[in-house]
Structures are given as structure tokens and as C-alpha cells.
Amino acid sequence: DTGVSQDPRHKITKRGQNVTFRCDPISEHNRLYWYRQTLGQGPEFLTYFQNEAQLEKSRLLSDRFSAERPKGSFSTLEIQRTEQGDSAMYLCASSLETGSLPYFGAGTRLSVL
Amino acid sequence: GQNIDQPTEMTATEGAIVQINCTYQTSGFNGLFWYQQHAGEAPTFLSYNVLDGLEEKGRFSSFLSRSKGYSYLLLKELQMKDSASYLCAVSHEAGTALIFGKGTTLSVSS
């Protein structure tokens, strides 16, 4: 499978715990995006990378959220001290170059109890 | 600010034609995308418009008017499998992340 893959697909955690999600983009795609999507809403932009550089962060990305893409390939999104409001689908997308079509992964669904 | 509006829900019957509208107000414009998303799945690309006019791709067509900040997605010969959420998204600047509307949930009945 050469699409965008995300792991895990589902994560259930207790409030206050830390969680980390992984995204593997399509090979050679140098742009990688993280979005959050809640029920009945469209995806909301969180952050994006050009290779290993994090170029933009949304104001939605609080201090408890951190994203990395250390080698310009896979990326991780960590949420510290999770809150119930963090429950959502976290989507990753990648694209080849500036302005080209982003392809989405199936997402990681987070439930915070 | 950035704003994208589309209807929340629409219903239609098999074989019919449905038009899903999208209006946008963004600080810039570098193209408009339509995605389809089935429940619990990834958004999948349907169409892309950067110039005014109609883009046709099989049963799906998309129209853009940049001067009016308006687009629509036209679905013909509806099938039950077309029941999904349809997301309108704008690229306001080359290379930046897409801005999405809230999506339109389409229900197709027999």
C-alpha cells in the first residue's frame, strides 16, 4: 500500500495521559499536514511540515500538542495531559510539492475518557 | 478571516441529480478542492478548480466562479454509495494547508 498510513487507527485513553500518533506519508512527498476533525465538522488545520521543518502552526495547537518530523519522512503528533475536548479524529495528509493535491490517511480516532 | 460555507445536510433519491453549493471568503485564492468522505474513512479527492468554469469528471462535475467566491459540486445519476459527506476546501495561498468547510452530509435513498 503506497498511500498515507496512520497508526494507531483507534486510541482510547484516560484524561491526563499522554498519547502519540504516527503518520507515514506517501514516499517522496515533502509536505505533511496534520488536521483534527470532530463529528459533523470539516477537518481543522493543526500544523504542517516541509521536509523536517515545521512551517506553520495553528492557534488550535496548544502547548500540550507537539509535532515532529525528524528525518523529513514520518511524523509524530503527541498530546500531553489529554483532555476530553481532545477527543477527535486526527488526520494526516501529504503532498508532493507546493500547491499540489494533498492525500489523506484514514486517521487516528482518539477517545479521551 | 477565512470562511467557507456549505449546507449541512441534503437528501436525494437514486438516479437523481444533486448540486452542493459552497461559498468562500478567504484572504487569497489558489484553488478549490472537493473531497468525499464516508463515515470513519479518509477524505478522498473528487475535483479541483483553479480557473472559472466547469470541470467534468464522469458523474461528478465542479464549477467555480472566483468573482463570486462560489463553487458547486454536481452529482449525476446518484447511487446509494454516494451517501457521504462532501467537503469543500480552499487553498488560500500556494503551499499552505487547505481550509475546509464543515461538510455537507448527503443521504441518497431508494
Which pLDDT score is estimated for A1?
53
The rounded mean pLDDT for chain A is 93
Cα–Cα distance measured from residue A1 to residue A6, given in angstroms and rounded to the nearest whole number: 12
Least confident of A5-9, A100-104, A105-109: A100-104
- DSSP per-residue letters across B60-76: EEEEEETTTTEEEEEE-
**Residue among A33, A45, A104 minimizing CB distance to B42:** A104
Q: How far is it, in rounded angstroms, from Cα A101 to Cα A93?
A: 10
Of residues A28 and A86, the one with the higher pLDDT is A86
| Cβ within 8 Å of residue A63, ≥6 positions away | none
- Measured between CA atoms, the residue of chain A closest to residue B86 is A42
A39 Cβ under 8 Å from any chain B Cβ: no
Contact B95 A31 (CB under 8 A): yes
From residue A2, how far is each of A26, A68, B11, B36 by CA, in Å? Answer: 6, 22, 35, 20
Grid coordinates given for B24: 468562500
From chain A residues 68-107, the ones with a CB under 8 A of any chain B CB are 91, 98-99, 101-107
Q: Is B13 exposed, middle or buried (0-12, 13-18, 19+ CB in 10 A)?
A: exposed
Contact across the interface for B94 and A99, Cβ inside 8 Å: yes
Cα A3 to Cα B59: distance, rounded to the nearest angstrom: 25
Residues 6+ apart with CB under 8 A from A103: A3, A4, A26, A29, A93, A94, A95, B45
Judging contacts by C-beta atoms under 8 Å, the chain A residues touching residue B27 are: none
Mean pLDDT by 10-residue block, N- to C-terminus, for chain B (110 residues)?
92 97 92 94 93 95 97 98 97 83 96
Say whether residue A25 is in contact with chain B using an 8 A CB cutoff: no
Which tens digits make up the pLDDT trace of A51-84? 999 998 998 888 999 999 998 899 999 999 999 9
Amino acid at A108: T
Residue B33: name the closest of B9, B10, B64, B2 by CA. B64
Of B4, B101, B91, B104, nearest to B49 by C-alpha is B91
- Nearest Cα residue to A44 out of A62, A56, A60, A29: A60
The C-alpha cell at B4 is 467557507
Angle at A97 between CA B4 and CA B64, to 5 degrees: 35
